[in-house]
Structure 1
Amino acid sequence: MTITQPDLSVFETLESEVRSYCRSWPTVFDRAQGSRMYDEDGHTYLDFFAGAGSLNYGHNNPVLKRALIDYIERDGVTHGLDMSTTAKRAFLESFQNTILRPRDLPYKVMFPGPTGTNAVESALKLARKVKGRESIVSFTNAFHGMSLGSLAVTGNAFKRAGAGIPLVHGTPMPFDNYLDGRVPDFLWFERLLQDQGSGLNQPAAVIVETVQGEGGINVARAEWLRELAALCKRRDMLLIVDDIQMGCGRTGAFFSFEEAGFVPDIVTVSKSISGYGLPMALTLFKPELDVWEPGEHNGTFRGNNPAFVTAAAALETYWADGMMEKQTLARGEQVEQGLRAICDEHARLGAEYRGRGLVWGLEFTDKTRATAIARRAFELGLLIETSGPESEVVKLLPALTITPDELDEGLRTLARAVRETA
């Protein structure tokens, strides 16, 4: 695909140097539909990025778009803080009837603000308030957001350094298989909890991702997660599952922890909960943890009513009959087959793959190769990003609604990009 140099002058002169994705994809996008994006020069890109997991149902999903247009055209409330609105009621009822009740999950629902890091901050605050303790345990290579509390439980050194101040009250522990199976699970963690001389204050909570997306597509085993849940219960610590990127069906089930068969005390949800890419976040917690005073945690944009509209439409369209989970798992098998073929072809490069559902990673011995592959894929019309502490993993995050033919096309393009950068 021939790409003419786009006019990026206003972005380069006026926009902050902090911008990132636009550097990897140097074009000006104009429109998008389904799993395709189009730039202003008419070039087409197959999207294996899906708004970093915010577009599980694709760009401008027609069912969700129709619901949103109808709501706007009738002058439905747009901004409502935490006021009761018909849009909020419709979402809550749909979420309760479609998601919570069928899974026998008793959670209360909190709207903490429109972003994932809002949800994490409220989860950490609530855990500390409930337990009366400060310390939070997180895991190596975790990513939980860019505000100070979230950064304190994030592993990435580059992102942590941006805080500019010491990040306190967070203690990292080894994620599943961090020590390559040479040490029994949680040996270090439990020994520190037992030892009065360890220097570890009794934690209020543990926060974990079942699959570390930004950390490099590190997939926790179901048995490791169950053992962690048991440890938290045994040691009087709340368990927080950060499902911001891996929830809303990304791993197959609506919540990524369902497969492991445990119920977290607190769950954070964002990204694809609105279904349409509109800002929205939830903090879910067991009823006995609802010790908030009115207004103790608030935010001007915590009641994004257009997002409630598209979220309810997404739940009713995709989660009422159980077919979305089956489809995602089938698409995941298709991706796994494609990645296995790539790894077989490039075994001499140390190619390895890992993932669940429709989140997958591809890694090579040479840690710089992932960036080169992503760059070449863009030139070939495929949008993929990298992840991991050294951007060493090619990350595949297509929409859950992607077709088998589109998946095959993207995997062929990825295979070509790997071949042409080998």
Structure 2
Amino acid sequence: MLVQESLERAHKDEFNAVVTINGFAQKQAQELSSKGVEPFPFAVKDVIYTKGIRTTMGSRLFQDFVPSFDATVVATLKRAGGVLIGKTNTHELASGATTTSSIFGPTKNPLDASRIAGGSSGGSAAAVSSGIVEFALGTDTAGSVRIPAALCGVYGLKPTNGLLSNKGVFPLAPTFDTVGFISSNLNWLKRLKKLLPAFSKLSSTPRKPKIAVPSWVYWWDKAPASYSKTVEEVVLSFEKLLDARSIEWSKVEMPLAEALVWSRFGAIRYAEATHVHLERKQRWSECFPDVRRLLERGLTVLATEYLDALFARKRVYSEFKRVITQFDVLATPTVSIPAPKIEEVLGNEDGDVRSVLTHNTVYASYIGVPALSIPTLKVEGLPVGVQLIADKFDELKLLEIASLF
């Protein structure tokens, strides 16, 4: 895609995906071309620093903030020929799964503008899904790349925690935060091996994969009553998809994960997010109600609960290692429900919809392993995605196996 074409589409954005356009993009593309470098357009979530371009975190607290430097990942892409088209909408402080609480207003899903795009990287997913760019940066703490990618019908990759530098990425919960990538096609994600030095060191040996479906996917009896039937429908549709593709799979019991992940993840996420914003506590009243409630929730986490949650990660990862030695990847639906209507979500962003959207994505975040959402599963005519989870630094294996879907 040409930079000029991407810019024209950004100016015509109907989904509130791009919130700030880079006025120098065309000039930067011309400068690259004059040096014999083929420029490519990309967009960046509005919590990732971009030198000289407003970076608001979707919040009144930072609405006038202009970074003096590029985030490491942005600078690396620019050196490879990337031209920043603009900044994409985010749920305030990257603290939500819907991208409806933002100073710019909700981002709409390009597949159905009455529905949410997911979050918190909803603007990036909508920008890719609507064709503004083929490739965009997001961040992922509890599923913030994978959830919107799934709901908008595109690819979303969460790398291994620590693989990429988070310098210049505004934190939510540093233990879990990582830069992530959203793209309209798998080949673009495979280009990361050439574009990013960290990916160039990774390797994979293609073979017919063995796939494990973890027991924690079958959770509809524990889901909120209003969503239980849909959660079950999504899982059964997922099983049918695996069978239809003649993929070898087995259900695997993971009792430690079931007992620990969803009861411990929040202690780390809430405590760390609150700590990040503690110095601004006197301004929390300016945040959207759902974000403010989550910040206040972190104040109630005990030190013993936080430490217990950190130590439990090691036990959960050990269980994962025992499983992954027998299989290549875990596979799940990315999300448990299709995209809800925006009007159903407003005012309830931190309620049941949040726990249902994040249920399948927090596992990989909790133990720090890579995960990829593939736009290959639909329910009720709307995408929910298939999520593949691999061991640390096995990103290329995910991309190879994804081609089977």
Fold in common (TM above 0.5): no
TM-score by structure 2 length? 0.27
TM-score by structure 1 length? 0.27
Larger RCO, structure (CA 8 Å, separation 6 or more): 1
Return the index of the structure with the highest Cα Rg.
1
